[in-house]
Amino acid sequence: MSPALHELLSRPAPDVAPRLLGAVLVCARDTGTVALRLTEVEAYGGPQDSDLPDPGAHTFRGRTARNAAMFGPPGHLYVYFTYGLHHAVNVVCRPEGMGGGILIRSGEVVLGTEPATRRRLATRSSEPPFATLARGPGNTAQALGLTLADDAAAIVDLGTSLDPVARAREAGADREGTTWTGLALAEPAPEEFMETPRTGVSGEGGTDAFPWRFALSGEPTVSPYRRATVKRRRTR
């Protein structure tokens, strides 16, 4: 990893997250290579006794076997299985031991539409519209082909480029036949983007106190914002 990317990913998650908008995340697997231009991300902080306590984060109650990757070195993946239905993928940030990450919520498929669509069809009966191929965390991980086997995997630094899509395509050609995940940052970084509370996060972590959801404006791939709903027990 370059010193520049290491320095970026060592910062607090809310500072890192907007910088990932417009970047390209590429995942090469034996079932195909898919690259996403990131359009929606969420930042998550650290434990309750840290300098950035986040009650909405998996890190809040400390390190466990499940979230260990989130406390690992920056520039790795944190992949988890949620609701018994799908995987979600994060880019780990902060120095090792502190805990933090960026949830990849949505992106535009810029390379590998065929394998992304094939993977999505594994759990649905009809082909999804292009804009929804990687809309939402579960769809994103599925389109990329990421699973728990990729948890704690290192991210290949593809540098910064005026055309990160081309950089990802070149990297794929250079590494053909191998399994890897890489990140190419966009230069310049986007100056205009939306900031809202995080979507679907319950409790204090989903309030205006944590406006850590960032998305490119006007992008059809961005998922609709929704607050968490409180489930109430039925009474007779």
**Are 138 and 86 a contacting pair, CB within 8 Å?**
yes
Q: Render the chain in DSSP notation, one character per residue.
A: --HHHHHHHTS-HHHHHHHHTT-EEEEEETTEEEEEEEEEEEEE-B-TTSSSB-TTSTTTT---TTTGGGGS-SSBEEEEEETTTEEEEEEE-SSTTT--EEEEEEEEEEE-HHHHHHHHHTT-SSPPPGGGTTBSHHHHHHHHT--GGGTTPBPEEEEEES-HHHHHHHHHHHTTT--EEEEEEESSPPS--EEEPPTT--GGGGSTT---EEE-TT-TTSPPP-PPPPP-----
Tens-level pLDDT at each residue, the chain (236 residues) = 889 999 999 999 999 999 999 999 999 999 899 999 999 999 999 999 999 999 999 999 999 999 999 999 999 999 999 878 899 999 999 999 999 999 999 999 999 999 999 999 988 889 999 999 999 999 999 999 999 999 999 999 999 999 999 999 999 888 888 899 999 999 998 889 999 999 989 999 999 999 999 999 999 999 988 876 654 454 44
In the CATH scheme, what architecture does the domain 3-215 have? Roll (3.10)
Residue 156 pairs in a beta bridge with 182
pTM: predicted TM-score of the whole model, two decimal places = 0.93
